[in-house]
């Protein structure tokens, strides 16, 4: 069979064109070769998948094992609230020799899972507590025990306890864990506290512990008795009306609240906290005697 020829578009010469049967054989051979390559690649996919799965399992086991054998260092500070305002000011003083203690309790049954020895702060009011193990299922708190200063040994209502997270399984990495500063209140606020608090815009200076001399006359006492009797009458009348209104079955209450994201993991809101839209909450009421659900 003669080979077909065609004129080239780039010159006056002719070029050879392969017969159709030969072109089909060439195309079939090329397709067969591609199929063999793809089959080989498909055979490698399960091997790669098994290899990746092995690495994942190994990493997960190492992560969990490492968490259980982790040693954490809890760092904190104890101060004297010299202005009795439940937060630190520039007049606050560190308490050296103060005693704190760390405890962890299971969230389900409240059983004690860890308890440190009593830890004493240094001269700067700082302390360090070493904790071994992972406490993902426990709530861990550092609490004030006592102060060596008799003039400043009233534990703060807000900062007598601080929660710390002692697990790496919730995304918090590193061995250092920082507790919020804890404070004892001074018996009597320092005189210069008023100026300091006014400078920061805080005017409600706590007057606890200050002695106030009040001279009361007999006439004043009589007026006080009349006022007290009048207040008592108003109080009883209001209480009866209140109790009657509260007992009405058609009374409706509106419970209002807010849900936020604690972006700093400090167990309270800060200016960096963010509102959580779409969060779900639930209200339950239980009988005080038998714990039966009433709403």
Position 80 scores a pLDDT of: 96
Q: What pLDDT band is residue 281 in, cutting at 50, 70 and 90?
A: confident
Instruction: Compute the average pLDDT of residues 162-189.
Output: 89
Which of the pair, 21 or 48, is modelled with greater confidence?
48
The C-alpha atoms of residue 243 and residue 193 are separated, in whole angstroms, by 44
Could you tell me the residue ranges of all domains in the chain?
21-66, 70-185, 214-251
Map the chain to HEC letters: CCCEEEECCCCCCEEEECCHHHHHHHHHHHHHHHHHHHHHHHHHHHHHHHHHHHHHHHHHHHHHHHHHCCEEEEEEEEEEECCCCCCCCCCCEECCCCEEEEEEEECCCCCEEEECCCEECCCCCEEEEEEECCCCCEEEEEEEEECCCCCCCEECCCCCEEEECCCCCCCCCCCEEECCCEEEECCCCCCCHHHHHHHCCCCCCCCCCCCCCCCCCHHHHHHHHHHHHHHHHHHHHHHHHHHHHHCCCCCCCCCCCCCEECCCCCCCCCCCCEECCCCCCCCCCECCCCCCECC
Least confident of 16-20, 135-139, 221-225: 16-20
pTM, full prediction: 0.50
Looking at every residue in the chain, the average pLDDT score rounds to 76
Is 90 exceeded by the pLDDT of residue 22? Answer: no
Is 90 exceeded by the pLDDT of residue 184? Answer: yes
Least confident of 55-69, 80-94, 223-237: 55-69
Q: What pLDDT band is residue 142 in, cutting at 50, 70 and 90?
A: very high
Q: Is domain 70-185 annotated with CATH 1.20.120.160?
A: no
Position 79 scores a pLDDT of: 97
Q: What pLDDT band is residue 286 in, cutting at 50, 70 and 90?
A: confident
């Amino acid at each position: 069979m003669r080979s077909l020829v065609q004129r080239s578009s780039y010159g006056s010469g002719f070029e050879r064109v392969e017969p159709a049967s030969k072109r089909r054989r060439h195309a079939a051979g090329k397709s067969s070769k591609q199929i063999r390559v793809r089959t080989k690649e498909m055979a490698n996919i399960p091997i790669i998948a098994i290899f990746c799965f092995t690495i994942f399992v190994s990493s997960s086991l190492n992560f969990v094992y490492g968490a259980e054998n982790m040693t954490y260092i809890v760092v904190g500070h104890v101060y004297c609230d010299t202005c009795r305002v439940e937060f630190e000011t520039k007049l606050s003083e560190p308490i050296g020799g103060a005693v704190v203690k760390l405890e962890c309790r299971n969230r389900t049954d409240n059983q004690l899972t860890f308890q440190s020895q009593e830890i004493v702060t240094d001269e700067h009011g700082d302390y360090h507590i070493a904790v071994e193990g992972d406490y993902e299922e426990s709530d861990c708190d550092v609490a004030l025990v006592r102060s060596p200063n008799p003039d400043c040994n009233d534990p703060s209502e807000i900062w007598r306890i601080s929660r710390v997270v002692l697990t790496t399984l919730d995304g918090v990495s590193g061995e250092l864990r920082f507790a919020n500063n804890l404070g004892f209140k001074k018996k009597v606020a320092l005189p210069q506290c008023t100026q300091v608090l006014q400078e920061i815009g805080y005017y409600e200076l706590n007057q606890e512990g200050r002695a106030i001399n009040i001279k009361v006359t007999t006439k004043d006492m009589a007026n006080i008795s009349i006022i007290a009797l009048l207040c008592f009458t108003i109080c009883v009348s209001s209480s009866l009306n209140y109790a009657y209104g509260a007992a009405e079955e058609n009374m409706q209450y509106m419970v209002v609240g807010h849900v936020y994201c604690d972006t700093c993991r400090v167990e309270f809101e800060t200016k960096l906290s963010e509102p959580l839209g779409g969060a779900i909450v639930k209200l339950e009421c239980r009988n005080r005697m038998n714990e039966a659900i009433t709403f």
